[in-house]
Homo-oligomer: A and B are copies of this chain.
Amino acid sequence: MKLKSKVTAPFKRKSHATIPGSIIYTGNNTVEKVSVHHLKYDEFKAEDRVFDSNEKGTLLPSDEDIVDWYDVRGMQDTNLIEAIGKTYGIHPLILESIVDVNQRPRFDENEKGIFITIRALHFDKEKQEISKEHVAIYLIKGLVISFQETSSDLFESVRDRILSSKGRVRQRGSDYLVYALLDAIIDNYYITLDSFESVIEQVEDDVMEDHHEDIKGDIHNLKKELIVVRKSIAPLREALSRFSKTENTIVYESTFDYLRSLYENTVQIMDSVESYRDMLNSLQDLFMTEVSYKMNKVMQVLTIVSTIFIPLTFVAGIYGMNFDHIPELHFKNGYFIAWGFMIVVALLLVYYFKRRKWL
């Protein structure tokens, strides 16, 4: 298996050599058209519609008792984001975070609302790559605004459950919806890490059986990908720890159990990331040992062959000399005696190698 590591660089912050708090999308996933998916529901009914980001001013909560979820797909429309910021009075630095794909996962809150950024991870089995997607979620009472980089939907399962009225989500408020969205992303981590683990196991088999030459690069790439994954998850754990302890009244008492379980999931995921790290280090050691061990075998073969034949060749060389007077040459069975002598030497050497366990 040949791995190609195209993990996006761990960070490439915009060089906003300009003004702090300016809203500039720093990713590469420009969608053709930024669209907003609006889904409003309560326990009894749910309805969804899609509209253009041009129809501004529409991202308003519809009603007190209804949950409104605006799902913005595509981040390059900074006007829209600025408009939202103005509508809800969001701090400029938070607006900056929404579109900064290199932002670490973070949790911010004030009396009005709660803001959380997270990275969705996706393992592409074809290309053997982990790709990241920046996601931002803003929560106020009765309203959730989510921001995704691309038009492919990370939250499809949640949307389906709401529309088909499966599970608890319809009976609960906007805070539970945020939980459901985060849970959908974190669920994906498990799948991603499962794939990652199967790749490690594959490389492990390769090391053991030595199929190809790229193992050393593979291990290095896996290590690099893991470094990137780790940088996404470690701050998330911290952010969720703070989320699950928030004293904000937007979050109902009954949701905390769910948030805590989400937090425990990230702890478990970090555990796994750490153990993959240990495994890769152990695998690296194993490969090094494997290489040394194989070299040892190669050297033994060389040593055995050389050590047996070099002295014999010397003997042959001796009797190939052209001195006028070499008595042995004229012995009747000189040639056969020489052969006998050489065979005895060879056997002795073979015995010696056997005893040293080189043969």
- Residues of A near any B CB (own CB < 8 A): 9-13, 15-21, 91, 93, 104, 106, 157, 161, 166-168, 179-180, 183, 187, 190-191, 193-194, 197, 208, 210, 213, 216-217, 219-220, 223-224, 227-228, 230-231, 234-235, 257-258, 261, 264, 267-268, 271-272, 275, 278-279, 282-296, 298-303, 305-307, 309-314, 316-335, 338, 357-358
Residue of B nearest to A276 (CB): B10
Residue of B nearest to A17 (CB): B157
Residue of B nearest to A201 (CB): B9
User: Nearest Cβ distance between residue A207 and chain B, in whole angstroms?
Assistant: 9
Residue of B nearest to A352 (CB): B301
Q: Contacts A268-B11, A298-B303, A320-B316 hold; do A289 and B290 have CB atoms under 8 A apart?
A: no
User: Nearest Cβ distance between residue A209 and chain B, in whole angstroms?
Assistant: 10
Residue of B nearest to A191 (CB): B15
Q: Contacts A104-B264, A291-B296, A298-B296 hold; do A323 and B319 have CB atoms under 8 A apart?
A: yes
Most buried by B among A223, A279, A283, A317: A317
Residue of B nearest to A280 (CB): B282
* Complex contacts, A357 vs chain B, CB 8 Å: 210
* Complex contacts, A93 vs chain B, CB 8 Å: 257-258, 261
**Within the oligomer, what is the number of copies of this chain?**
5
* Complex contacts, A288 vs chain B, CB 8 Å: 285, 288-289, 292
- Whether B216 lies near A293 (C-beta < 8 A) is yes
A301–B15 Cα distance when bound, in Å, is: 50
- Whether A322 lies near B329 (C-beta < 8 A) is yes
* Complex contacts, A326 vs chain B, CB 8 Å: 322, 335
* Complex contacts, A294 vs chain B, CB 8 Å: 296
- Whether A338 lies near B321 (C-beta < 8 A) is yes
Q: Contacts A231-B275, A305-B307 hold; do A12 and B291 have CB atoms under 8 A apart?
A: no
Q: Report which of B187, B261, B322 forms a contact with A15, defined as CB distance below 8 A.
A: B187
A11–B17 Cα distance when bound, in Å, is: 30
A105–B222 Cα distance when bound, in Å, is: 28
- Whether A168 lies near B220 (C-beta < 8 A) is no
* Complex contacts, A106 vs chain B, CB 8 Å: 264
- Whether A323 lies near B301 (C-beta < 8 A) is no
Residue of B nearest to A357 (CB): B210
A357–B290 Cα distance when bound, in Å, is: 15
User: Nearest Cβ distance between residue A264 and chain B, in whole angstroms?
Assistant: 7
Q: Contacts A93-B257, A291-B293, A323-B334 hold; do A310 and B307 have CB atoms under 8 A apart?
A: no
- Whether A257 lies near B91 (C-beta < 8 A) is yes
- Whether A301 lies near B307 (C-beta < 8 A) is yes
Can you add 11 more A-B contacts, CB < 8 Å, to A93-B258, A220-B283, A224-B282? A13-B190, A19-B161, A19-B168, A20-B261, A216-B293, A227-B275, A295-B299, A301-B307, A305-B306, A309-B313, A319-B323
* Complex contacts, A307 vs chain B, CB 8 Å: 301-302, 305
- Whether B289 lies near A292 (C-beta < 8 A) is no
* Complex contacts, A305 vs chain B, CB 8 Å: 306-307, 310-311
- Whether A166 lies near B19 (C-beta < 8 A) is yes
- Whether A231 lies near B295 (C-beta < 8 A) is no
* Complex contacts, A11 vs chain B, CB 8 Å: 190, 193, 268, 272
Q: Report which of B18, B261, B286 forms a contact with A220, defined as CB distance below 8 A.
A: B286
* Complex contacts, A303 vs chain B, CB 8 Å: 298-299, 301-302
